[in-house]
Structure 1
Amino acid sequence: MSEDAPRLCLATPPLADGREFLPALASALSAGDVASLLIRFAGDDPRRNEEIVRALAPVAQEKGVAVLVDGSPAVALRAKADGAHIEGAGDELTEAVEKLSPGSIVGAGGLKLRDDAMRAGEAGADYVLFDDADLEALAERVGWWAELFNTPCIARAARLAEVAPLAGAGADFVMLDDAVWSDARGPAAAVAEALKLLQGAKT
């Protein structure tokens, strides 16, 4: 791991309307440094999803937060997002890299096997995202990747309590989603706690 503390990433719930989510997003981003925001969609209507990105992206981008679109390079380009997140290491990822790189970010998630992660890296993904309900297995996967590969690794923390272990395992970034939006204290408090945990993991 580098001497710098791992950074925080956020992912939205699946959204059907961007404006309704703006207050929660603004609250979360007010708490401190966030590296990126992954916008997820409830439906597959490109026009609706583009509207969602256009509603949310400026709020994040003005704070220096990279905005990624889940699953749609075309929407990312039209809505002036900073990149796209693709599930898997197959043709969709290859096509996204060809379409967006090097000017925009292309990340890969849904990588169930180590071979999938390696293929994603070889395909030119700018990061790999690991997610596993088993924290021990997830930390092991993160540690394996961090030791052997230079492509940045994002680890999804299902709970705030998982932030420090995943950072300690070697994640370059830790992603939070429901743990922020469903926190009874509000998104800002959840993000502030996560940032303290990440700073504490600095080595």
Structure 2
Amino acid sequence: MTDCQLYLISPLDVSGTFPERLERALDAGKGVVTAFQFRVKGLDQHEAARLAEPLQAICAARDVAFIVNDDVALAKRIGAAGVHLGQGDGDPREAREDLGREAQIGVTCHDSRHLALEAGEAGADYVAFGAFFPSKTKETSHRAEIELLQWWSEMVELPSVAIGGITPANCAPLIKAGADFLAVSGAIWSGDEVAAVKAFVEQIGEA
């Protein structure tokens, strides 16, 4: 059994019945889903905080880390577990100053060992590599090789997150290569979230 875990990323629309879907997904992946990233675009902070509130409560009740995408100010405002920074979203050191020692800070490193090592030196808690596969959720200009995960897991203690087009059908090589987390969005929310989470859990169990 590997210690690989699931890191769910929200769809851009988290209104309507999404809180119920999140509950079902987290319950289906109990013990394997350990983080949830709140990723909404183009909303003001007040509206984003309002949408985050019920989702944050659902995560807190299940001991799942609630991470905010790209927005340190929002993460601080709502007391999120941490923030995930893209390459253009600020410095992990500044985020650490704003959010405190306990915050989980992740950094997107695309397909670059150099960026990942830099992020580690800047105090990131995890690095995200990808995209490993074509993604329908996000336009990707970087393509990472599975060897990168293997190299990272052998050389560096910092956890790695694999992202980009990951499905139950293609995730096994990433798990075997040493990814600590699989970040998934489209594969979960584009269909039956319970079946999708269970299929991932099965793959993780078999790897």
For Structure 1 versus Structure 2, the TM-score category normalised by the shorter chain is: 0.7 to 0.9
Sequence identity percentage: 32
What is the one-letter code of the residue matched to 1:152?
A: P
- DSSP-derived class of the 2:68 partner: strand
Counterpart Cα distance in 2 of 1:124 and 1:167: 25
Does 2:101 match 1:94?
Answer: no
Could you say which structure has the higher helix fraction? 1
How many residue pairs match? The answer is 196
* Amino acid paired to 1:94: R
- 1:176 equivalent in structure 2: 184
So what's the TM-score if we normalise by structure 2? 0.86
Match of 1:146 in 2: 153
* 2:107/2:128 contact within 8 Å kept: yes
Are 1:96 and 1:106, in contact at CA under 8 Å, matched by a contact in 2?
yes
Shift of 1:98: 2.2
User: Matches of 2:20 and 2:89 in 1, distance apart?
Assistant: 36
Of 111-120 and 163-172, deviating more is: 111-120
Task: Tell which deviates more after alignment, 4-13 or 164-173.
Answer: 4-13
Does the 8 A contact of 2:111 with 2:144 survive in 1?
Answer: no
Residue of structure 2 in register with 1:200 after alignment: 206
Task: Output the amino acid matched with 1:50.
Answer: A
Unaligned runs of 5+ in 2: 135-142
- Choose between structure 1 and 2 for higher RCO, CA contacts under 8 A separated by at least 6 residues: 1
Could you tell me how far apart the structure 2 residues matched to 1:101 and 1:111 are? 26
Q: Which residue type is aligned with residue 194 of structure 1?
A: F
- Residue in 2 that maps onto 1:6: 4
Judged with a 3 Å threshold, the aligned counterparts in structure 2 of structure 1 residues 90 and 78 are, in CA distance, closer, same or farther, namely closer
Distance in 1 between residues matched to 2:145 and 2:49, nearest whole Å: 32
- 1:188 CA displacement: 0.6
Residues 129-187 of structure 1 show CA distances to partners (whole Å, capped at 9, x for unaligned) of 1112448943111111111101100112522222211110101111111001112xx10
Superposition pairs of residues 39-188 of structure 1, within 5 angstroms? 39-88=38-87, 91-134=90-133, 137-156=144-163, 158=165, 159-183=167-191, 186-188=192-194
Q: Using the alignment, how far apart are the partners of 1:12 and 1:138 within structure 2? A: 25
